[in-house]
Every structure is written in C-alpha cells, then in structure tokens.
Structure 1
Amino acid sequence: MVPALIRDAFVGDVLYHLSRHRLFQHREDRQDFTIPTPPRSVGSIKSGSSSRSILEITTVAEPERPVDEESQLPRVDSEQVTIAICEPSEEQRPARQKILEVEEGDLAKQKEKAPVLQEITESRIVEWYGPNDPEDPQNWSIVKKSFITFQICLLTFSVYIGSAIYSPGIGGISDQFGVSSVAATLGLTLFVVGYGVGPMFLSPLSELPQIGRTTVYILSLALFVVLQVPTALAKNLGALLPLRFVAGFAGSPALATGGASLSDIWAPEYRAVVIGLWSVAGVGGPVLGPLVGGFATQGEDWTWTIWILLWMSGATLIFLMLFLPETSASALLYRRAARLRRITGNKRLKSEGEIEVEHMTVGDIAMMHLVRPFILMFIEPIVAFWNIYVALVYGILYIFIESFRVVFVETHGFNLGENGLAFLGIFVGSALTYAVYAPYALRVLKPHFVNNTFVPEMRLPIAIVGSVLLPISMFWFGWTSDAIVHWSVPIVASALFAAGTYMLFQAGVNYLADCYPRYVASVLAGNDFFRSMVGAAFPLFSTVFFHNLGVGPACSLLGGVAVLMLPIPWILYRYGARIRSWSKYAD
C-alpha cells in the first residue's frame, strides 16, 4: 500500500491500471476486504463537498453476503435496492428532474417514462462507507488539504504568469518581426482570450465522473507545456499568435476550476479563506510576470520569457502528476463503483453521478455550459452588473501592466528589470489585503455559516470598501507619475489599487456563487468569459491611451468610471435580497 495522495494522483492511477491493479492498490483490492453496510438513517448524508438532504430513501433487508468461489471476494446481491435521491447540483439537474417528478404510489408507471429512475431503482448506489470514510475529500487531514491547496495555487500561478511574462518582450518581437507594437501586443491579448474561452469547453469535462478534475488539469497542462517550444521558436507573427491563443486555451481549466477543487475538500465556512489565498496566487501570476520577463528580456531576448514559462510550467506538471490527487467526489465514487463491479461481478453497482451523466443529452450539456451562461449574463441584473464591474477591474489591471512601461521606463528611466520590480507593489498590496481579509472571513462570516444564518449580501461590505479604494488609487497613481515625484509614490498607489481590486474580486465572485448556487458553473463561466474579453482588449490601446492623454488625465478617466460604478455594491447590499426574489434563477 502507498499513501493515498500518491495513489490517487495521475501517475499513481495510470500505474494502477497498467499493472492490472497490482500496484497502488485500493482497499477494495485487498483479499480481506468486506463491503461495509451502508447507512440506514433518514436525514442527511455527507457526500463530496456538501451535505445533501435525502428526499427519498427506500431500503431492503441486508442478506448475508455470499462469497464468490473463484475470487474468494464478497459479492453483492444484484437484487438489493437502495434509493438515496439527493438534492441535485446543476450538472445533475436534467436527470434528477425526471426523478423528482415521480409521484408516490405511481413508481411503476413512471419507470417507463424515466429511464434514469428505473436504472437508479434497479442499481445498487455506491456511496461513501459512512460519514467518516477516509476517502471522502471532506474527511482528509488538514495537512493533506493544505498541500493540495498549495498545488492548486502553484498550478494557477504557473499558467497565469504566461500572460504578463510576455509583455516585456513586446518591443523585441516588434523589432524582430517588423510589426507594430500593437500587433505584437496581440500575443498578450490572444492568450487572455484563450483562457477566457477555454473554460466554456474544458471545465465541463472536469465535472464528468469518468474523467474528473486531475485528468483535465494534467492533460491540458501537458499541452500547455509542449506549446511553449514552437512558440519560442516561431519565426513570424503569423505562427506566434495562434500558438499563444491555443496555449491560453489549454491552460484555462485551472483558472476556472481551481476554486471548485478547493471547494471539494474544504467545508463552506473555510472556503472564503482558501479561495482568497488562491486569488493571491492568481494575482501573483500577471503581476510577477513582468518582473521575471523583464530581467529575461534584458539579459537575453524575448524568447527567454517563453523558455522560462516552459521550465516553470514543466516543473509544475511533473510535481502535480506525482502528488495531486483527484478531489472530485463524483469521480472518486465512480472509480470506487468500477472497482466494486470488477471484484464482485455485479454490473449494477454504479455511482449516482455515473448514472446521471449517462442520461444527460448533448442538448442538456450545451444548455448548461454554452447557452445558459449568456442567458444569465443578459437577463439577470445581479449577474450583468457584477460582470461589468469585475470586467472593468480586470481590464484596468491589464492596462496597469502596460502603463508601468510609460510611467517607470519612459518617465523615471527604469530598465526592463527594474520596471518589473515596480510591480511588487501590486503583489504586496494583494498579500497584505489577504492577511486582513482571512481573519475577517473567519471571525465575521464563519459563524453565520455554522449557524445557518448566512445570506449572500454579507459578502458585500468589503466590496463597498474596495469600490472606494479603486478610484482613489487611480487618481493617486495618475497624478503622482511625473518625474518630479519620487517613483515610490505611484508604487504605493498601485498597492492601494491591489487592495481595492482584491476586495472587489473576492466579494463579486463569491456573491455570484452564493446567489446562484444551482447555476454556479454557468454564472462563473460567463463571468470568466466576459472579464477575459474585456481584459484582452484593454492592452491593445493602452500605450496610445496614455501617450495621447497623459498618464494623469488617462488615470483620471478610469478613476471617473470607477466612481460611476460606486453605487453598485451598495445597492446590491441594500436591495439584493429583493432583486433575487424576482428571479427564477437566483436563490
């Protein structure tokens, strides 16, 4: 036996199957394994990342289990029936809706109309072996959860840095390929577009029990790593730009699904803290990218920004292949069901997620991940306003990255490496804000989760503070960027900008998830898509924008827009519950 952390990682799972289940064995593979008797209580069952209410449960007497004469392993009687129909997630809803429509006393008639119900009724549902099952991600140790959190943060950082690490090399690309700086900037823009579009197609794969999150992470990151080689060797812009787009597309699952992985293992009262830490890693990528890329370009040329990205993401890939376990409860239960089918010969042993996905149509999946995000984006006021607000903040972040060249290189005479150091103000501001936010989340928000008194609007007080800090930082940065003012003053302003944006991101994304728990995948996918499209567009005009208007007036214009957006968090804090009551999607 090996540690479950390694056994459930990508390499461990592959070796398990290649060795025909002789290496990296699970508890079901042991000769002395006996299938535990499932719980027989009506109330709530703990499964995966949440406690789900049982809507209906029917059991039969548990007969003595016979033993298979050939394998000497326990068998499960194929006629045993256990129905545990739980409150569905968005991914389960199309299949579950058929189940919930069944009326008491009319089961036989409805079986003909609802194949999924018939299959669940005739199958033995594979669940956790009780509330303390050590393979349930919610029951993992704090050390293991913390190590996995670190890996998700590392993965996010390794991909996110790929956007801004490119920016110091724009001048070199422009000179080498004989194109304008705007055309060279497309390499940054298309990368951001790629990781905005990618989650719409790749993230749904991580919800399939047959695939799981880790497989999607590893395979997409492997493609991301491979793509860096032809990118660094590209001989013209026509070859470079498509490679940058595909690389952003391939790297996108971690950026959209990392929060879901953390939710798999942490209880709701702790998620604000761990997802806040994950957000610091997300900010660190685009902020520290110019620092690394600046020294690389200054020491060698623009291709070294890509080579460094290759080395960093390649090392992360190897590390995660060895040590990142699967966290999706649906995928882990599917694998358990597959093992039980193999050792017992009972083909009716299936996990809930497996049955539900089998009965989802292509139309169900398309509606869930391609159509519904846009429906919610345009008809839900809460979603629409927060998408616009967060997209504005995201766009300003990327325009900030480009403005540093004008302020610190052209005005203060920094070289590319020193210009990268100026970005440390944003990173330090984010880290310090998290240091304040984490205790706030534990002291103020956690008790409401524990006592079941939490409402989504409790997320918004920090957004109100952040909405005030954002325009202040923009005016401060813009009007202190002249050469007569010491360079440290605008850097302090950038730290204040980081604090405001961090608060807005944390409050906004969590508020959307809280308001639309049934459609959280669609809402967050649409938010990611919308803000990425805006963030991708801003760098294209940033240099001209600051040159033509001047840094002070340009930042004042952005600050003025931020001032106009100030009422949004306050209005939602005051009237959000009423607005949600009008919606057929919000809870």
Structure 2
Amino acid sequence: MFATAFHDTFFAYTLRSAFGSRFFPHPDERELPVVWQTKRATQTSPRDSVQLTLNDVPNPDVRSIASEATVIANTPVKEDPEKGQDTMLVGWYGPTDPDNPQNWSSWKKAWVMFQTCLLTFAVYLGSAIYTAGLPGVTSEFHVSNVAALVGLTVFVAGYGLGPMVWAPLSEVPQIGRMPIYIFTLAMFVVLQVPAALATNYGMLMAFRFLTGFFGSPILATGGATIADIYAPKKRAYAMTIWGLFATCAPSLGPLVGGFAAHVEGWRWTIWEILWLSGPTLVLLFFFFPETSASNILYRRAKRLREVTGNPSIKSASEIAAATMTPRDVAVDILVRPFALNFQEPIVLVLNVYIGLIYALLYIWFESFPIVFVGIYHWREQMLGLSFLGIFVGIFMVIPPFFAYLYFVQEPKYNEKGELKPEERMPIAIVGALIVPVCMLWFGWTSRASVHWIVPIIGSSLFGMAALLLFNAVLNYLADAYPAYAASVLAGNDFIRSMFGAAFPLFAGAMYRNLGVGWASTLLALLACAFIPIPILLYKYGERVRMASRRARHDYD
C-alpha cells in the first residue's frame, strides 16, 4: 500500500527515468518479460507473432486483474502492409484492472480528491487575498483604488485564459494531466517571489497576470480529474466537495489576508500565497498520480513494446494520433475549447450564466467595505470576518443537497450508472431562485438601523446558491461532453473569469452612486433575467443536445 501511494506520480516518473523500471514497477513489468521470452523461445517459427494472455502469468495477483483470460496486445485493428501484421490494441486487463482510475480504492480516490481540492483552494485564494492589501498598493505606488484593483482583475483574467491552453494539453495522451499540474504549479510558486518583491506598479501587474495564468489548470481540469476517477453516480458528491473549496477560497481570502496586510503590508498577502502553494507543490510532486485513462493506456502500450520488441502494439489514442498531422494537433489543442464554447448553444448559455454568477460574487465583494466599514464602522482588519456568512451558507446546504442526491437523483440512474444531463437542472433552478433573494436581502438590510448580523445571514444564501449552481452546471457539462470534459470546463472557466475580471472595476462606483440597496436591486433583476435558463434546459435541453455532433447522445 505504501508503494501504491507513489505509483505513477511525478516522483515515480523521475526515478524511473533515471534508474529504469526497478522503482515502482507495474505488475506487467514484473511478470511479462520472463513469460514473453519463454514463449518466444518455444515458438515453432520465428516469424510467428507471440500471443500472451494473463493465464500465462505465474503470479496470481497479476492474473486476478481480469475476470477471465484476457489477451494482451493481440486485438487486430488494421493491417500494416509493410510489416505484414496487424496493429495490436492495448486496453484494460479486464473490468477490475487496478490501473483504471475508476477501479482505484476508496482511500486512493479520497487522497487524490484531497490534493485536487487543496490545489484549487490555493489558487482561488490567490485572487481574493490580494484585495486585503489594496490600500497598501495605492499608497506605495501612488495609484487610484481602481488601478490597484487591476491586480485582482489581471489575476482572474490569467486563470481564465490559462485553461484554454492547459486543459487541451492535459487531454493529449502523450502528456496527461499530472505533468501539467506539476509544471504549472511550480511556475505559480516561483513567480510569487517577484510579485511580492515588485518595485513598481507595472511589474506587480505583470506578475499577477502570470501567476494567474500558470495557476489556472486545476480550475478547469480539476473537474475532469474528478470525472476520471469517479463514476457519474458518485461524481456529484465529489464535485460538491471540490466546489466547496472553490467557493470558500474567495470568501476566506479577505479574512486570511486582512490581518497580515494591516500589520505587515500588502506584500504579505502574496507571501501567504507562497506559503500555501509551496507545500502543496511538494505534496503533489510525491503523491499526485496520473488520472487520465488515455495516458495510462498510452504508457502501458509503450511498456509492452519495450518488453516484447513488437512495434505494432499500440493504444487507441496512438492509432488515432497516427492519422493526424502536426497542424491538426495544434488546431485541436488551441481551437477546440473556443469552438466548444461558441459553437455549442448549451455550453455557451451555461457558461454565460455561470459567468454572471461569478461576476455577481466579485461585484458584491466590493460592497462589503461600504457596508461593514462605512455603515457599521468595523475596523478594516476585521472586514474579512464579514465574508464568513458565505462560508457558513456553503456548509449548511451540503447535508440537504447530499440527501437530495441520494434519495431523489440516484434512483434516476440507468443500469449502466448513467444519468441524463438534464436531470442535473432541477437543483440549478433552486439555486437560480435563491440568488436574487440574497441580493435583495443583503442590499435592503444593510443600514445602521438593522443589526449587522442580518445582512450577513442574507449573504449566506449566496454561498448556498453558488454551490448548487456550480455543481449542477459542471456535472451537466461533464455528462453531456464526456470526451471533451477538460476543454469544455476550460471554456466555462474562461467565460466566468472574464466576467469576474471586468465587473469589479466599476462595482465601487456603482454602489457609491446608486447606494447599496438600489445597486443590489439592479443585480437581483439581472439574476432574475437568467432564471429561465435552467428551466428551459431541463425541458428542452435533450432536444438541443441530440442535435449536436459533439455532445453525447446514448443516454437511455
């Protein structure tokens, strides 16, 4: 079990690159070379291909991978006219193959899930924690508050743009997800240093953008990682936990950074990001495994070619890649997320809606200093405590939501453990109705004559709505476009980040000119305009999905 924790991690890859397969070997590497050589020595003709099955393997632990004798690398796919033999397809060693992420033990899935959530929290915290140091930035660099706020918007823009590059790369079988996470996180950690030591405004803005760009893959690909290891029936629970970390981080950022910025200055908010992301990088380097099934099978085919010396052994992804030119690959990587985002009506509509919710969150954050410092006269270092209402609301909604998943949604799954994507929408409808209620409650109770706890209770409703909406939409997209999960979630992250980057720049002026009550009413009306989206998708989404050539059609 101890060795399993390191299996297929970046640490294991590094050791294997330097010293070969003696470190963390796969079962087929331990058993197949001897068996293969034995069969080659006893074959009647040197020109005959060697057929190897798991029944030939002496180790019962390896044989037990399959429910029956499974032929390794002997499924003919196409004729190679030059070599006169068929390409041999490598797949899973049966339905219980332990290398298949869907078959990992519960503890291993939970361990991967924890690391995914920790990385998500570390990156999302990097956006909102910066706001605690805004007064220090304006003072040191002699810029306006709006100019200082650009440090938030460029970071959000960076982690919106980044997944459009990193997510498609993670779907390339020869690369996989784990190397993308490790490389970009290492850059994210390193670039915090020049950001914290910035000597002028331009330098700070440049490095804030770069840290957002390199920290971004987990924000979209994290959902694809969860889809890699959890079957659809249990994925909603995992997505909820992931959404919990993603939603809590922005609400905790001002609290985490508030006291440090007040005592030590704005640079400490950046150092705090480094202190969290640095240990996270070390943890992922040693313990985060590859989860992409196509990458795992690609590496299996590569191992079997080395063992057997048979170049015709290939994975399905290699066979598909053989027909693609470098131009096709480049277009597939760079264009696919944008094509999915703007050519698929369902994707575009849902992304715009989640972008609106994300924008409301960041706009709304700008009202908290006006309300709790300006109206209720809190000290600035205590302002972060006002965001705890959102945090509490998220936790409060999880028990009833899990009960809904278990008692209402799970019985709707078919015999293959699949659910029509449209069945995700009822919970999104509930979330959509809560958002305008939250905005009106917060806006019209934020006055000196009303105790400060009342608007904070109202703010908890937003935490509930955000978690329900994010869970429903991300699961819908993963269900409807399983072959492009990372790319379609990258498009979602791109749209919501662009909304989140732009809207805070005018939020302060809006609240000052309209007042908290009327500004909140405007946001509530905007949220109301989008309520029909989940309702229409629940009723007509299947018809639209069936007309798409990229969406999945075979749900019973």
Would you call these one fold, judging by a TM-score over 0.5? Answer: yes
The structural deviation recorded for 1:301 is 0.5
Aligned length: 523
1:580–1:16: structure 2 CA closer, same or farther, 3 Å change rule? Answer: closer
The structural deviation recorded for 1:507 is 1.6
Partners of 1:416 and 1:8 in 2: how far apart? 47
Partner of 2:11: 11
* TM-score, length of structure 2 as denominator length: 0.88
Question: Matched residue of 1:125: which SS?
Answer: strand
Question: Matched residue of 1:166: which SS?
Answer: helix
1:489 aligns with 2:482: no
Question: Matched residue of 2:192: which SS?
Answer: helix
The structural deviation recorded for 1:269 is 0.6
The structural deviation recorded for 1:481 is 1.0
Deviations 1:485-504 (A, max 9, x none): 11111111111111112212
Residue pair 1:82, 1:121 contacting (<8 A) in 2 also: no
1:148–1:466: structure 2 CA closer, same or farther, 3 Å change rule? Answer: same
Which of the residues 507, 529, 538 maps onto 2:503? 538
1:164-563 alignment, distance < 5 Å: 164-451=128-415, 454-563=419-528
Partners of 1:120 and 1:187 in 2: how far apart? 61
Partner of 2:46: none
Question: Matched residue of 1:434: which SS?
Answer: helix
Paired letter, 2:24: F
Partner of 1:151: 115
Paired letter, 1:311: W
Residue pair 2:169, 2:333 contacting (<8 A) in 1 also: no
1:128–1:81: structure 2 CA closer, same or farther, 3 Å change rule? Answer: closer
Paired letter, 1:83: P
Paired letter, 1:3: A
Residue pair 1:269, 1:450 contacting (<8 A) in 2 also: no
1:195–1:63: structure 2 CA closer, same or farther, 3 Å change rule? Answer: closer
Paired letter, 1:573: Y
Residue pair 2:227, 2:478 contacting (<8 A) in 1 also: no
1:30–1:290: structure 2 CA closer, same or farther, 3 Å change rule? Answer: same
1:555-574 alignment, distance < 5 Å: 555-574=520-539
Paired letter, 1:476: W
Residue pair 1:334, 1:353 contacting (<8 A) in 2 also: yes
Deviations 1:306-341 (A, max 9, x none): 001001000111111111111112222222222222
Partners of 1:123 and 1:180 in 2: how far apart? 65
Deviations 1:109-134 (A, max 9, x none): xx78xxxxx99973322222222222
Partners of 1:405 and 1:310 in 2: how far apart? 26
The structural deviation recorded for 1:6 is 0.9
The structural deviation recorded for 1:378 is 3.8
The structural deviation recorded for 1:418 is 1.6
The structural deviation recorded for 1:450 is 4.1
Aligned-pair RMSD on alpha carbons? 2.6
1:28 aligns with 2:28: yes
1:83 aligns with 2:47: no
The structural deviation recorded for 1:203 is 1.4
Residue pair 1:119, 1:355 contacting (<8 A) in 2 also: no
Moved more, 446-455 or 539-548: 446-455
Partners of 1:343 and 1:318 in 2: how far apart? 33
1:458–1:80: structure 2 CA closer, same or farther, 3 Å change rule? Answer: closer
Partner of 1:43: none
Question: Matched residue of 1:547: which SS?
Answer: helix
Paired letter, 2:21: H
More helix by share: 2
1:514–1:327: structure 2 CA closer, same or farther, 3 Å change rule? Answer: closer
The structural deviation recorded for 1:434 is 2.3
Could you tell me which runs of 5 or more consecutive residues in structure 1 were left unpaired when the two chains were aligned: 37-59, 68-78, 85-106, 113-117
Residue pair 1:120, 1:355 contacting (<8 A) in 2 also: no
Question: Matched residue of 2:265: which SS?
Answer: coil
Residue pair 1:2, 1:24 contacting (<8 A) in 2 also: no
1:1-150 alignment, distance < 5 Å: 3-30=3-30, 62=51, 81-83=74-76, 122-150=86-114
The structural deviation recorded for 1:566 is 1.8
Question: Matched residue of 2:20: which SS?
Answer: coil
Paired letter, 1:558: L
The structural deviation recorded for 1:2 is 5.4
Paired letter, 1:304: W
The structural deviation recorded for 1:251 is 0.6
1:372–1:128: structure 2 CA closer, same or farther, 3 Å change rule? Answer: closer
1:264–1:35: structure 2 CA closer, same or farther, 3 Å change rule? Answer: farther
Moved more, 532-541 or 208-217: 208-217
Paired letter, 1:131: P
Residue pair 2:223, 2:474 contacting (<8 A) in 1 also: no
Partners of 1:219 and 1:290 in 2: how far apart? 28
Partner of 1:102: none
Question: Matched residue of 1:30: which SS?
Answer: helix
* TM-score, length of structure 1 as denominator length: 0.83
1:135–1:297: structure 2 CA closer, same or farther, 3 Å change rule? Answer: same
Partner of 2:66: none
Partners of 1:351 and 1:289 in 2: how far apart? 44
The structural deviation recorded for 1:462 is 1.0
The structural deviation recorded for 1:24 is 2.7
1:511–1:63: structure 2 CA closer, same or farther, 3 Å change rule? Answer: closer
Moved more, 371-380 or 302-311: 371-380
1:298–1:379: structure 2 CA closer, same or farther, 3 Å change rule? Answer: same
Paired letter, 2:460: A
Partners of 1:342 and 1:264 in 2: how far apart? 27
The structural deviation recorded for 1:530 is 1.1
Paired letter, 2:75: T
Partners of 1:577 and 1:20 in 2: how far apart? 50
Partners of 1:7 and 1:144 in 2: how far apart? 11
The structural deviation recorded for 1:550 is 0.8
Paired letter, 2:247: V
Deviations 1:202-233 (A, max 9, x none): 11221122222111111110000000000000
Residue pair 2:221, 2:489 contacting (<8 A) in 1 also: no
Deviations 1:14-50 (A, max 9, x none): 11221233333332343676669xxxxxxxxxxxxxx
Partners of 1:551 and 1:128 in 2: how far apart? 58
Deviations 1:215-272 (A, max 9, x none): 1111110000000000000011110111011111101111111111111111111001
The structural deviation recorded for 1:568 is 1.9
Partner of 1:578: 543
Residue pair 1:456, 1:515 contacting (<8 A) in 2 also: yes
Could you tell me which runs of 5 or more consecutive residues in structure 2 were left unpaired when the two chains were aligned: 37-48, 57-71
